Amino acid sequence: MATLKSIKNKYLQTSDGDTLGVDDNASNVALLAFKMQAADSIAKFNMVDGFADAYADATGIDASASTNEVRNAANYYIGTQTTTLTRNGASGSQTLDVSASDSISASIWGAGGETGTTGCGSSQGAGAGGQGGYMKVTVDTSSISSLIIVAGLRDGGGTGYSNCAGNGGKYSGIFKTSETRGNALAIAGAGGGGASAVVTWGAGGSVSSNGGAGNGGGNEPGSGGANASLTAGNAVGTGTSNAGGGGGSGYTSGSGGGGSNPHDYGGGGGSGSNYGGASETTIVENSNNGDSVSTSDPNYDSSYGGVNEHGRVSVSYDGAGDLTLISNSATASAQPDTADIVATYTNGAGTATLNTDLKYHVSRDNGTTYTEATMVSQGTSGGHLLVSARNIDISGQPAGTTMRYKVTSHNQSANKETRAQAVSLAWA
């Protein structure tokens, strides 16, 4: 490496900058400024010929130009997009990552009860099962990282008498860490099973995965799907004589459905009743009969929630998406021809490939034209992956002094979440 002494008898030229390591020093100064900013928790640190942003707040980002950007309270940006997950009773339960969402919206249908068997021990008719309940809710997930989504089976509740009466359905719902009453955010109750005739009775809809459901009514008034282990779930839903049991969620009452001729036909199953009393939950719409909302909910499917039908849950939430993050502009003192970028990022899930899954760009004409930088790994800084690009040629861009940077992420999914932690942009 040359020294000032070795070139004392010549005028300095532009090429001597590389010889003296000036560019390396400039990069190190940018790195140092970056680390100083992070250490001092400065939201936006403007330098003479550049600026840095460690995302302590959103003041350095142009939200109107950026897309899919979400700033996390831990001081990073990720890309998100609205995604809809639908689970039907036959597909079982699923754990859903909602860490990128402050809230979700959901449409929930409990499973319908089964209809009793006609002529089973009698020449008389059978009662129909009850419809599942329906709820439309929003849930505050700002302090919740994952949800358990449960779609009920049409025969997942109590068992009808003597294999002749209909089985009760199982509730559908949304839970926090486990499928228990204390973690319930919203439940659409299931329909009770219909009685086969006056001598047998249908079952109520189920209340919880850890307990049985109450019997529906045959010759006696029916009680809905109660779970004795749940303090709020004692026998709920009372039918009239020869009525099917109310479909109980275990939280509020379901009504029993009477047969068309109480002395000759089995009673119908009661409708599902719903629960949405958690502090995080806001009820938008609520009905004991899921089929009654066919025209008001775009997620309605006539194959679910009615008599003899499985339950259904449709959840809209913010999931992983590709990010475009654009800075606010800064004015250069003179038109620059080169730029330097120093940045940090982390892998929230999976491993990003630099310059493929994560890219950085520079503009000198206020974002009309961008030049992509080829970033190089520089190790780690504060637990973050440190990358940089030096002497990015922006001389071919239209004339201008309004500087911006752009960060883009690509190929993002539940298995690949790339977090932009900080960026420093300098120019000359």
Per-residue DSSP letters for 145-186?
A: -EEEEE---TT-SPPPGGGTSPPP---EEEESSSSSGGGEEE
Q: 342 and 393 share a domain?
A: yes
Calpha distance 39→21 (Å, rounded): 27
Does some domain include residue 74? no
Q: Using pLDDT thresholds of 50, 70 and 90, give the confidence band for residue 156.
A: confident
Q: Which pLDDT score, from 0 to 100, does residue 275 have?
A: 72
Does some domain include residue 230? yes
State pLDDT tens for residues 107-134.
Answer: 999 888 777 666 565 555 566 677 778 8
State pLDDT tens for residues 259-270.
Answer: 333 334 444 555
Q: 126 and 37 share a domain?
A: no
pLDDT > 80? residue 30: no
Handedness of CA 60, 64, 69, 71 (dihedral sign): positive
Q: 108 and 167 share a domain?
A: yes
CA terminus-to-terminus distance, the chain: 23
Calculate mean pLDDT across residues 401-428.
93
Q: Which pLDDT score, from 0 to 100, does residue 3 have?
A: 43
Calpha distance 290→337 (Å, rounded): 64
Contact 56, 72 (CB under 8 A): no
pLDDT greater at residue 321 or residue 189: 321
**For residue 39, which phi and psi values (nearest 5 degrees)?**
-65, -35
Q: Which residue among 268, 295, 320 closes a domain? A: 320
Write the single-letter amino acid at 30.
Answer: A
Q: 315 and 372 share a domain?
A: no
Does some domain include residue 268? yes
E strand spans, 49-88? 50-53, 69-72, 76-88
Look at residues 103, 104, 72 and name the one whose alpha carbon lies nearest to residue 323.
72
Does some domain include residue 266? yes
**For residue 347, which phi and psi values (nearest 5 degrees)?**
-100, 110
Calculate mean pLDDT across residues 32-38.
51
pLDDT > 80? residue 393: yes
Q: 40 and 93 share a domain?
A: no
Does some domain include residue 76? no
Write the single-letter amino acid at 178.
Answer: S
SS (H, E, C) 237-301: CECCCCCECCECCCCCCCCCECCCCCCCCCCECCCECEECCCCCEEEEEEECCHHHHCCCCCCCC
Q: 330 and 312 share a domain?
A: no
Q: 163 and 39 share a domain?
A: no
Calpha distance 338→361 (Å, rounded): 12
Q: Using pLDDT thresholds of 50, 70 and 90, give the confidence band for residue 318.
A: confident
Count the domains in the chain.
2
Q: 104 and 247 share a domain?
A: yes
What does the DSSP 8-state code read for residue 361? E
| Selection from 20-29, 152-161, 326-335 with the highest mean pLDDT | 326-335
Q: Which pLDDT score, from 0 to 100, does residue 8 have?
A: 46
Look at residues 355, 340, 343, 335 and name the one whose alpha carbon lies nearest to residue 396.
335
pLDDT > 50? residue 178: yes
SS3 325: strand
Q: 371 and 315 share a domain?
A: no
How much of the chain is helix, strand and coil, in % rounded to 5? 10, 35, 55
Does some domain include residue 38? yes
How many CB atoms within 10 Å of residue 41? Answer: 9
Q: 214 and 247 share a domain?
A: yes
CA distances from 278 to 40, 110, 171, 216, 310 (A): 40, 18, 17, 28, 25
Contact 147, 95 (CB under 8 A): yes
Range of the domain at 301: 81-320
Q: Which pLDDT score, from 0 to 100, does residue 194 have?
A: 67
Does some domain include residue 75? no
Q: Which residue among 320, 344, 377 closes a domain? A: 320
Average pLDDT of the chain to the nearest whole number: 74
Does some domain include residue 73? no
Calculate mean pLDDT across residues 30-58.
61
SS3 197: coil
Q: Using pLDDT thresholds of 50, 70 and 90, give the confidence band for residue 358.
A: very high
> Which residues are paired to 312 by β-bridges?
88, 109
Q: 356 and 240 share a domain?
A: no
Q: 248 and 361 share a domain?
A: no
Look at residues 88, 107, 112 and name the one whose alpha carbon lies nearest to residue 271.
112
Q: What is the domain-level CATH number for residue 13?
A: 2.60.120
Q: What percent of the chain has pLDDT over 70?
A: 63
Locate 95 and state its tokens.
């754990």
Q: Which residue among 269, 303, 320 closes a domain? A: 320
SS3 412: coil
